[in-house]
Amino acid sequence: MPYIPTSFLQGASLTPLPARHATSLAMSLIRRAEATTIPLPYVFPPSGSFDGNDGAWSTFIINIGDSGNGHSGQDFKVLISTSGSVPLIPIQASWCDEPDQLTCAKSRGVQPYQGNQDLGFQSSASSSWKQYGIYNLNLPTNANHLPDSQPNASYGLDTVGLGADSSASPQITSQLVAGITTEDFFMGTFGLSTAPTSLGSSGIDTFLTVFNTYNKTPGLSYGYTAGAQYRK
């Protein structure tokens, strides 16, 4: 309440406002909108291990697919890609056989599925997989890739979740996934870019974009550190 000097009140004549003025003032008071709840940032914990064929890098676990009887996706250890927008997932490759196929697949981040070591992503085991086709990977044009100069992948839509497959894993359906066999990418990656991917049609939003749309995170920004094995 504003402060009005006593001397002013003693010498002033206070006249009530006309009724129409009082009504006008009352109508100008508008109820404040309800406060919007802003979600807390989502913390995506690392796998706790360091993997890779060109160094020891901090990895993260994601799960792909759904067998149709609840949470039963396939788990993969992947590296983070700040420029990629589509999860790249290893599928069985003929070149991956040193020292043997199972050991090689495990070193590529392929995790056991239903009690057995997988050789790669099995799209046929996922009831939610929708095949798109074979397309070249969207990579920087100035990058030199060996042995494939234009590596491609098998693209499709499937359920993608953060962390190992469980009821606690936040999952998003109909996400674009790319299965890779090329030797250019030993391990899979999880992209943090928000640039949509176009495969001859309208752009498909990325995981981070949809995650934010579902109000699971306060924005499209993120903080990430790769970690170093020697600082464990």
pLDDT along the chain (232 residues), means of 10: 38 46 52 73 93 91 86 90 94 94 97 94 93 86 69 94 93 95 93 89 89 92 82 62
b/e code 188-211 from CB counts within 10 Å (16+ = b) = bbbbbbeeebeeeeeebbbbbbbb
Task: Note the pLDDT of residue 14.
Answer: 41
Pairing state between β 152-162 and 171-180: antiparallel
Alpha carbon distance 118, 64 (integer Å): 13
Specify whether the CB–CB gap between 151 and 139 falls below 8 A: yes
The arrangement of secondary structure in 59-138+148-218, i.e. its CATH architecture, is: Beta Barrel (2.40)
Tokens 């997932």 -> residue = 89
Pairing state between β 188-191 and 74-81: parallel
Task: Note the pLDDT of residue 232.
Answer: 57
Task: Note the pLDDT of residue 146.
Answer: 66
Nearest to 111 by CA among 160, 155, 73, 79: 73
Task: Note the pLDDT of residue 220.
Answer: 93
Task: Note the pLDDT of residue 54.
Answer: 87
Task: Note the pLDDT of residue 17.
Answer: 45
Task: Note the pLDDT of residue 71.
Answer: 58
Q: What separation in angstroms does the CA of 36 have from each of 40, 115, 175, 211?
A: 13, 45, 28, 18
